[in-house]
Amino acid sequence: DGGITQSPKYLFRKEGQNVTLSCEQNLNHDAMYWYRQDPGQGLRLIYYSQIVNDFQKGDIAEGYSVSREKKESFPLTVTSAQKNPTAFYLCASSSEDRGNSPLHFGNGTRLTVT
Amino acid sequence: GNSVTQMEGPVTLSEEAFLTINCTYTATGYPSLFWYVQYPGEGLQLLLKATKADDKGSNKGFEATYRKETTSFHLEKGSVQVSDSAVYFCALRSSGNTPLVFGKGTRLSVIA
């Protein structure tokens, strides 16, 4: 079955460490996205990529970095510069270059930094 | 810029009650509108969508109509079930592969 796989489901890190969240899709989608979800705040966009080897900052990119070396993969690194990294992180992808295409989401990674 | 405003929750209903979750938007041009649902511990699933004015999206008994004159896309269901308990997000997308803009979500709890 096609879909988006995020791993791991739960991740624990000590403060000051960088951590990388995995996102893989086998839907052959061009565009991929990272959102952060906090209670009461909805979803906020971190980074997105419309094509391989290119990506754009979203609304809250500070303290995060991404790469898009392959169409299928869009890993997110949470660096030690991110002040409040504990959150639920959602990866998504979409197919056509039209506004009516929905985003398909993975099941998320819950990151806890202590 | 584009934005979405949803009614604040939580919303608590008895089984078989009528549900309305209000959603209004601000956008340039003619965005596509979406409702997503999130069950505990999971990602978001597309519930329904509408791509132009007066379109009605529907799925699993849920409906929403794209009202350009009131810039609204309210979610309705005639008879909710306990299994509908989840967080519902309204979202819009302007064009191309631009990201979705989400509302803050509305938590629905349905009690038997």
In this predicted structure, what is the pLDDT of residue A49? 94
A39 interface with B at CB cutoff 8 Å? no
State how far residue B40 is from chain A, nearest Cα, in angstroms: 10
Q: What pLDDT does residue B40 have?
A: 87
Q: What is the distance in angstroms between the Cα of B44 and the nearest Cα belonging to chain A?
A: 6
Q: Which of B47, B95, B97, B102 to mutate to test the interface with A (most CBs of A within 10 A)?
A: B97
Identify the pLDDT of residue A45.
95
- B51 touches A at CB < 8 Å: yes
Q: Which tokens go with B75?
A: 């979610």
Kindly provide the b/e burial profile for residues B49-65, where b requires at least 16 CB atoms within 10 angstroms of the residue's own CB: bbbeeebebeeeebbbb
Condensed to tens digits (0 to 9), the pLDDT of residues B36-87 reads 999 988 899 999 999 999 999 999 999 999 999 999 999 999 999 999 999 9
pLDDT surpasses 90 at B96: no
What secondary structure does DSSP assign to B96-109, as a single string? TTPPPEE---EEEE
Encode A69-104: b = buried (16+ Cβ within 10 Å), e = exposed: eebbebbbebeeebeebebbbbbbbbeeeebbbbbb
Average pLDDT value for residue range A45-66: 95
Cβ–Cβ contact B106 with A under 8 A: no
**For residues B63 and B80, what is the distance between their CA atoms, to the nearest angstrom?**
12
The whole-angstrom distance between residue A68's C-alpha and the CA centroid of its chain comes to 11
Please check whether residue A108 touches B, CB under 8 A: yes
